[in-house]
Amino acid sequence: MRAFTDVERISGMPGILSAADLLEEAATVVIAGDPADALARSLATTALSAPDPAVAVLRAALPDALPAGHPAHGKGPLAGRPVAYVCRRNVCGLPIAKPETLHQSLHART
């Protein structure tokens, strides 16, 4: 708590606030499906081009590719086609099958 009241440490405030924002608002985009598929590549490119620096992209070819504690563990392609899951605050959203929809989701930051 002293970091917020100690005048000598005020220079560290931007770093503390940035870390708090990263912990609270960071997004993980999980691309589920064959990484060689054109749609999977397009979804990954869309996620990697997000303007928010707090976006991590994971590629998971198989539903069990992620650790059991990850919110996207067990989520896979939809009807055999690659999809993206946007996970924030330890919860993943519905599968996204279109790069345009993924783009909108990442720009909304919700």
What's the pTM? 0.81
Interval 14-46: pLDDT, tens: 888 888 888 888 899 999 999 999 999 999 999
State what percent of residues in the chain have pLDDT above 70: 88
Torsion of CA 64, 60, 39, 76, to 10 degrees: 20
> What's the CA gap between 110 and 104, in Å, rounded?
10
Query: Domain residue spans in the chain?
Result: 26-108
Architecture of domain 26-108: 3-Layer(aba) Sandwich (3.40)
Greater confidence (2 vs 89) lies with: 89
